Amino acid sequence: MSDWIQQVKTRGLAAPLRVLLDVLEPLGPLGAQVLYVAQPASALLGAADTVAQLAEALEEPGGVERLRRLLDE
């Protein structure tokens, strides 16, 4: 998971991702299901693995907090 987090930080998108996490956190399982539905389309952009990892993080307890920690490192 840290590969795409590193890419986010390199591109300067850590702050927008934090905002997105704040928005999606209360809707974690629902947001994860939306991402699972979007995963086949994201494969066209080569981002299927990243979308799957983000969906898994939204589903599991403490997953969003773990993403925030990775962004802050």
Whether the per-residue pLDDT at 1 is higher than 70: the answer is no
Whether the per-residue pLDDT at 63 is higher than 60: the answer is yes
pLDDT in tens, 4-20: 788 888 888 888 888 88
pLDDT in tens, 23-52: 877 878 888 888 888 888 888 777 788 888
DSSP, residue by residue, 6-73: HHHHHTT-HHHHHHHHHHHGGGHHHHHHHHHHHHHHHHTTT-HHHHHHHHHHHHSTTHHHHHHHHHH-
